[in-house]
Structure 1
Amino acid sequence: MSQPRHSVSVAAVIPDEHGRVLVIQRRDNGAWQIPGGILELDESIEDGVCREVQEETGVTVEPVRLTGVYKNMKMGVVALVFRAQLVTGTPHPTEESAAVDWWTTDRVTAEMNETFAARILDALRDDPTPAIRHHDGVRLLEGDKFAG
């Protein structure tokens, strides 16, 4: 009998000069999220972040720092979220994203579920210590309530 395994995903919070962040609307479920996805077995964490952003937005980024580690307790997915800076390109929809947009933190808080909003707000904090949070896919768990 094989042991259960975690899946690891990587994602990027990419702010612009106006303090907005790049978000994508997923083609599969219509949800608005930051660009990211499952880390491939044979790639480095940073390469995975860059590949996922490229696949979902068409732009090249450079990861700046790890801003949070998030575990979906129901799905067994551990997400590593990085603050990243845009290097080249103009964001546009791709095979994986139905739309791309720049959202303010107010819109993020109002329109995204708590687990994804927390990833963005954590990444925009000045605190260099990465957040460590647990969630059920919709809400933060065990006192991890985000205090914006």
Structure 2
Amino acid sequence: MTQSERPRHSVSVAAVITNDTGHVLVVQRRDTGKWEIPGGILELDESLAAGVRREVEEETGVTIEPDRLTGVYKNLRLGVVALVFRGHIVSGKPGPTDESAAVDWWTADQVTDRMSETFAVRVLDALDSTDVAVRLHDGVHLIQEPASLPVR
């Protein structure tokens, strides 16, 4: 198999944005009806920061600034690598857009109860740690990566 025949990964970017009370900005996607943090596919010609800014603005109407990377998540079934950032609003007020049917501010408990496991963990990782989480999933459930073998 040549390099050009090999399957390629897709890269997505998303942001965990909190308000003054610690609630997380979430969007209800128009295409699936699911609640998620704002984000989407990174364009080939844009930086990571520019991509997350664009995706959040397209889905919420607000301008944000990404602060730090909080997690890297690979969907083994689809070949999507998602980069999740903490961010803060620079301007605007969140509201529905062409891409989101609704926006809301949720507590961490609401995120856990109402989002799928693979999306809720992205929020919880961003809220709970200063480390960068690295996780695998199958689109539905997290997959525990085998322990590393010792280097000899």
1:14 to 7, 13, 17: 17
The CA deviation string for residues 61-97 of structure 1, in whole angstroms up to 9 with x for no partner, is: 0000000000000000000000000111000100000
Equivalents in 2 of 1:26, 1:94: separation in Å? 10
Segments of structure 1 that go 5 or more residues without pairing to the other structure are none
Per the TM alignment, residue 143 of structure 1 is displaced from its structure 2 partner at its CA by 5.8
Letter in 1 for 2:127: L
Tell me the C-alpha RMSD between the 2 structures. Answer: 1.2
Max Rg structure: 2
Equivalents in 2 of 1:37, 1:72: separation in Å? 14
List 4+ stretches of structure 1 deviating above 6 A: none
Contact 2:70 2:133 in 1 (8 A): yes
TM-score (norm 2): 0.91
Contact 2:96 2:103 in 1 (8 A): yes
Query: Does 1:128 pair with 2:130?
Result: yes
Aligned length: 143
- Aligned identity (percent) is 67
Cα distance, 1:109–1:9 mapped onto 2, change above 3 Å: same
2:95 to 68, 89, 92: 92
The CA deviation string for residues 31-77 of structure 1, in whole angstroms up to 9 with x for no partner, is: 00000000000000000000000000000000000000000000000
TM-score (norm 1): 0.94
